[in-house]
Amino acid sequence: MNKHSAVDLKAEKIIGGVHTDQRHDSAHKHVTGTAIYIDDMPEPAGTLHGYLGLSSVTHGAIRSMDLSAAREAPGVVDVLTAADIPGVNDISPSGRNDEPVLAEGKVQFHGQPIFLVVAETREQARRACRLAKVEYDELPFVIDVGGLDPAKDKLVTPPLTLKRGDAAEAIAKAPRRIKGQMRVGGQDHFYLEGHIALAIPGEDQDVTVYSSTQHPSEVQHMVAHALGTSSHSVTVEVRRMGGGFGGKETQSNQFAALAAVAAKRLGRAVKLRPDRDDDMTATGKRHDFLIDYEVGFDDDGNIHGVDYTFAARCGFSSDLSGPVTDRALFHCDNAYYYPAVHAQSAPLYTNTVSNTAFRGFGGPQGMVGAERVIDEVAFAVGKDPLEIRKINFYGDKASDRSLTPYHQRVEDNIIHRIVAELEESADYAGRRREIEALNKTSRFIKRGIALTPVKFGISFTATQFNQAGALVHVYTDGSVHLNHGGTEMGQGLYVKVAQVVAEEFQIDIDKVKITATTTGKVPNTSATAASSGADLNGMAARNAAHQIKDRLIAFASHAHQVPADQIVFLPNRVRIGNEEISFAELVKQAYNARVQLSAAGFYKTPKIHWDRDKGQGHPFYYFAYGAAAAEVSVDTLTGEYVVERADILHETGRSLNRVLDLGQIEGGFIQGMGWLTTEELVWDDKGRLRTHAPSTYKIPLASDRPKIFNVTLADWPENHEPTIYRSKAVGEPPFMLGMSVLHALSDAVASVADHKVCPRLDAPATPERVLMAIERLRAETARQ
């Protein structure tokens, strides 16, 4: 018997409500190996295995494709090409019909899927793929956006322009001006569990797909399109993912669609799981950007106007590049007010895998551009970059300095207090003085320190996605079944929503059963993305629980002849007038009186709207804030470095679950640090991705974490908007805290030139790139 199964009718508090520290519902399963992922599920009898055949050229027309040897290989049951897709050969989430399930007639990047081998075993399918003979007429290709002209070269989706005031005039009239360019690299998601789909055919047109996806409804739609059937014939289910980070928002579509097509064609279950190398080669990544900027400012460091162009390597199709590059522009201000601003996106076509969503969704790239501008101004006027940051912060909502480049007012600005408290707790000023003294005496090892802020907008910028549904059943024994449209990828969404339901019913959390996300229970769901999982699904579940509570109150009022306002839900019990009965007893009485004990909840985010054509609106419901101070030491002979210390102060409103939020902040910081330091994507001159395995692609290790790592949740903020229990999103905002490491490295590099020259350190700041920056600054200093 569960230790909490006996109801304590005298308890003053439930176990597991909101604003309490609860472990992740699967934490013990993760560490004991009992958490069931798709590849752990028992396979149905007769399950077949698929493997993808990938293109071997970067751009070309398919002259011929001889698959006979593959078809005749041991164990092979079938080989599918684009001609075998019964429905529409497209999985483009943007609806632009530019992303085929399997390439047809031409290939547009090295590693593009062109056929699928289905065999009795995965190894047989994999070996058979190598026997295919494909001939191409190779065509010219474009890998890098450097040198491309957004006005002339191909774009994958229309660009966005944000403007307020006359930026050109403000820059021209400013006492000082700087123009520059920054390259910001991409990032592979490197989830622990790669892409996988298991499709089981059913009667008529039915198919059930178990997919490692953040967006079950989109997978449902794409599978239906590929099969040429309706969505009601496709059920998609996911209990958990072994990481997602945005990489499973759209990229799951291809694997699910192919598994489903093969399963329906052959009448047998089909599982498709690529190798890590093929997964990294054939699936999209974080967009890398080339950022051009011009800024006008005065001698005190006040910014008068800025002009940005964000050119993105989008790959061969649109995927989510439109909204990703849009969000880069939305965050080109970070926490800073620009009196005049012009920002333009350039989502450029390249012959690379189509880039996609990644934690922050373009926002981090926009913020990095903003922070480079701050550094440029600071070096130009000879001041500490933190001082320049603070004088350019947004003001309060009543001030003239609260209007964003997209004409939304910042109504909840707390960045001044966040930065002030961190500056004091991290002893920023004292440590900067110590570092300056140390760098004068240390010949080869230089220290650097930086404190950077984060202001991140919360909501899908596509307004229609800001909705969620939930399904709640209350059984006659008082236990509760919970289902909603959010997916669990390790972030703790499931337990947070369960806490909400437990709080609403005032029952212990062990009475709430968390169940797998499925399109068969909650339809038309949005992706678990944009940091909105708890905001949307928590409110939808709360709405469902409210409906049932209202029915129970109405029943109790009528049955016990007590006014409704005298019926109070207490921990595991209900007070009806002067009487108290257990929650389970009330539920049983309601059932006997034929009261409905099930409800479908719904929520849509209020206030938000966005007019893309005008570049104006209120796209974000609220903003999340944080700041990080990082200290590094750099070996100026090799460029190698160590993160000595990081101090973080971040706010999540009234946190639903502090321990989970702290974990997200710590993990987000490390992942952001990795993006800006060690994680480098490299394509060779033939257009082949060379960093497609952990041997060449370097994510941070446990040993790369800061030696001293202080993470604090600000306990004073409360969301000014009526979000779920006044909490705030925590998925994406902490990622950008890693910018502090990049700028600490820049500070250390600048010390070799006595902080007189802006290092202009591009990202990722690998040891090689750091060393080149050091040598460049030394050479510039020698010439002066």
Q: What is the 3-state secondary structure (H, E, C) of 713-757?
A: ECCCCCCCCCCHHHECCCCCHHHHHHHHHHHHHHHHHHHHHCCCC
Q: Which residue is listed with tokens 């300095």?
A: 401
Report the alpha-carbon distance of residue 103 to residue 89 in Å, rounded.
9
Angle between helices 216-227 and 252-266 (to 10 degrees): 40
CB of 364 within 8 A of CB of 672? yes
Longest dimension (CA), the chain: 92
- Tell me the pairing of strands 573-576 and 579-582: antiparallel
In the block, tokens 């029952």 appear at 507
- Structure-token match 């707790």, residue found: 425
Distance of alpha carbon 758 from alpha carbon 570, whole angstroms: 61
- The Cβ of residue 98 has, within 10 Å, a number of other Cβ atoms equal to 17
Residue 522 DSSP code: S
Q: Tell me the helices (H) and strands (E) count for the chain, helix number first.
A: 18, 29
CA distance 426 to 423: 6
Contact 219, 712 (CB under 8 A): no
> In one letter, which amino acid is 122?
R
Q: Which two tokens stand for residue 209?
A: 């797909």
Would you say 81 and 89 are in contact if contact means Cβ atoms under 8 Å apart?
Answer: no
Compute the Cα dihedral for 729, 730, 735, 741 and give only its sign: positive
Kind of pairing between the strands at 207-211 and 234-238: parallel
State how far the Cα of 256 lies from the Cα of 101, in Å rounded to an integer.
Answer: 10
10 Å CB burial of residue 776 (0-12, 13-18, 19+) is middle
List Cβ<8 Å contacts ≥24 apart for 697-703: 697/188, 697/190, 697/280, 698/674, 699/190, 699/674, 700/670, 700/671, 700/673, 700/674
CA distances in angstroms from 699 to 107, 119, 313, 678, 746, listed in the order given? 30, 34, 21, 6, 20
Contact in structure between 121 and 49 (CB atoms under 8 Å): yes
**C-alpha to C-alpha distances, 326 to 156, 333, 571, 615, 784, nearest whole angstrom:** 13, 13, 46, 10, 41
Known active-site residue 249: no
- Residue written as token pair 């030491």: 633
Residue 245 region by backbone torsions, left for phi larger than 0, else alpha for psi between -120 and 50, else beta: left
Q: How far is CA 404 from CA 319, 399, 682, in A?
A: 27, 12, 35
Instruction: Give the type of residue at 394.
Output: Y
Pairing of strands 480-484, 512-514: parallel
User: Which residue, 663, 665, 660, is CA-closest to 648?
Assistant: 665
Q: Find the catalytic residue in 679, 732, 775, 780.
A: 732
Query: In degrees rounded to 5, what are phi and psi of residue 197?
Result: -145, 140
Q: Facing residues of 713 across strands?
A: 650
- Cα–Cα distance measured from residue 208 to residue 459, given in angstroms and rounded to the nearest whole number: 31
Residue with tokens 């968390």: 514
- Active-site amino acid positions: 732
